[in-house]
Chain A
Amino acid sequence: MFKHTLRSLLTLAFTALLGSIVVFVLLRQLGGDIVTVFLGREAAPIDVSYMRERLGLDSSLIVQYLDWLRGILSGDLGQSYGMGYDIFDEIVRRLGPTLMLTVGGLIVSVPLSLVLGTYSAINAKKVRSSFVDIFTQVGIAIPAFWAGLLLVLVFAVRLGWLPTGGYVPFTEDPVQAMRHAILPVCALSLGVTSVFTRYVRTAMIDVMNEDFMRSAMARGRTRRGAALVHGVRNASIPLVTVAALQFGQLIAGAVVVENVFVLPGIGRLIVTATLGREVVVVQSLALVIMFIILILNFFVDIAYGFLDPRIRDKESSNA
């Protein structure tokens, strides 16, 4: 177990370092001189050299990289040049809507996909499972932003049951917060649920063919009983990895959905910054999101080893 953790930790450190170097090089080297971007092409040479010095651009690349890295690790991501806000503070301020969306999306989609996928796997040879298949195929093909627009059209514009967008913090008014959360979370969950369901179904069908399932049925469990008691637990192991991979997709979906429902989250921040060509903001945000995804992957890796002893045994025997 220790070996497994160490290996995952090394991977995390290595990929995070590599990612930060890539982002740094992108930040500094591509798309022209950053000073020219600020001061324009006709700037006086004295201004340029002053700006270079102030931004630390006159030191060597490695020193610059280390400075930048030290800043990031101490929570200093720099400032937005267009709007003047501190990037780190802004991220903290905007975390609410994004967390609401992604966590809400997981809360809806994980149980729902377990039910749908198991149902479809148990009835794999019957016609009714194809309804689930059709749902997942269509669910994957519907872009989250179109699902959002459709939901707004029906439930907000036509029926007037729910607000068209906006964000209310849960601490301020729980009822309004829930009302505002329903449509965005649904829009985001549709695709994620569909993908999960397909994985659950596959994993369940595999598990159904395992020897221990036959033993369980020989001992008098019904097919469905065996599936629910032994199957779901075994099928959820591969699902953990999928969930980690899907987390990136969940964040991507959140970026889009936040823009449909005008939620003041990180996704909206990054799109606004992109359109305003705020390179520093976009790259800092990208780095933070990348770190979050990598750290989540790390935890999933560890959890995976706990859930399925075969994984770490296999790895240590390989080593």
Chain B
Amino acid sequence: MTDARHSRSLTAALLAPAGVFLFFLLVLPLAVMVIYSFGLRAPEGGYQAAFTFDNYLNLPARSKAFTNTLLLAPLATLLTVLLAYPMAYFLAVRTSSRWRNTLLVMVMAPFWTSQLLRYYAWMMILGSKGIPGWLAWIGIGDVQLLNTPYAILIGGVYGYLPLMVPPIFVSLEKLDKRLLEASADLGARPLATFMQVTLPLSLPGVATGSMLVFILLMGDYILPQFLGGGKVYFIGNALVDLFLQSRNWPFGAAVSVALVFIMFITMYLYMRFVLGRGDQRRAVMV
């Protein structure tokens, strides 16, 4: 009895720092955001207490930002998976352990420079003297990449690939190689083994990586700011403008609440339908 109480208070003590952290930095700000979202813009900008649903009724004014984000964030995530999976497979299965760590470090290497610098570099690569210039040189003229959705996709895949490779790599590396032998013994060809054994068992890694990348892309504003140039506009950009330029905090709060809500629904549907129940648990474990 005393032992149980003792261990319970120990658990409480261990959880307290995280609990306090979450309360002050997550629950409280979330509550403030919800309260603000029913308020009015003060005459000079900012927040003025009120109770109105106008901010929510005004949400369709930002529908383009929502559709841009909801279209490009999943698409960029998908492209990142398609590119990251073969890389992770190569690293986990085909690379000798001597080279593996070096190559993994090289995958992460772009993170060592500032994100802003990397996007500035992409502005040059995608600008008219970069790739479109080379294309014009071989006769494919008049291509614009910078400030188009394609630039966002390229930048998204580039920027988030290093986050996608490691989780997939881990799930492939843990894979019991005897299962592959068993599959071959039972007469499955390599492709069938991959589709029926390797792929399903590595899905938790894919799930973890995609969630990580998807969540970050949904809230991103630097990527569309730099490579979209005000033409391809995300919810993140709408929020920056509402809080900093228009200083319409209540409407900004309503857009934030809508974003949190959409993320919640999307993640729920993803867990529920894309992944089986077992995979869900493993996705969390990875």
A and B pair up:
no
